[in-house]
């Protein structure tokens, strides 16, 4: 059984393995992109590790719904986009992107804890399909 703490610890270990810091340098609140310097290749490698370890597919490039990316001409997300994001991904800490949420800052929301949440959600969905 994968408890919340177990999944978080395993995600921390996988992130450390992908990005090369020590595990104790990877904290739940750390942004994969800004604090840990992860990039699209890092997300891809982490996705492969999640699939191998948990048997789930976690395509990070599709975590944020495409319809939630509407922004004005200055790149600020629309109110509708923010409402959709909050409804679809309520566990993210939106204060990280400020009062003028720029579309380009969305990757900053993917903290180690948020990634662990996505893993737990995918595990639960896989179990529901298997038993359903």
Domain residue spans of the chain = 1-61+110-132, 64-107
Total residues found in the chain within this entry: 132
pTM of this structure: 0.91
Q: Which helix (H) or strand (E) holds 13?
A: helix 4-19
**pLDDT tens string 92-131:** 999 999 889 999 999 899 999 999 999 999 999 999 988 8
Distance of alpha carbon 80 from alpha carbon 37, whole angstroms: 30
Sign of the dihedral defined by the CA atoms of residues 44, 40, 64, 37, in that order: positive
- Please give the structure tokens belonging to residue 111: 């903290």
Could you give the CA distance from residue 76 to residue 97 in angstroms, rounded to a whole number? Answer: 10
CATH of 1-61+110-132, one of 3.90.1300.10, 3.90.190.10, 3.40.50.410, 1.10.1200.10: 1.10.1200.10
Q: pLDDT tens, 69-84?
A: 999 999 999 999 999 9
């Amino acid at each position: 059984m994968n408890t919340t703490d177990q999944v978080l610890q395993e995600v921390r270990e996988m992130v450390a393995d992908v990005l090369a810091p020590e595990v104790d340098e990877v904290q739940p609140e750390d942004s994969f992109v800004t604090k840990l310097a992860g990039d699209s290749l890092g997300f891809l490698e982490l996705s492969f590790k999640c699939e191998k370890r948990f048997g789930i597919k976690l395509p990070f490039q599709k975590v944020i719904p495409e319809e939630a990316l509407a922004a004005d001409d200055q790149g600020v997300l629309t109110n509708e986009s923010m409402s959709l994001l909050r409804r679809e991904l309520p566990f993210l800490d939106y204060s990280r992107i400020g009062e003028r949420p720029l579309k380009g800052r969305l990757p900053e929301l993917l903290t180690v804890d948020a990634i662990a949440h996505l893993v737990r959600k995918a595990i639960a969905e896989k179990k529901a399909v298997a038993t359903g």
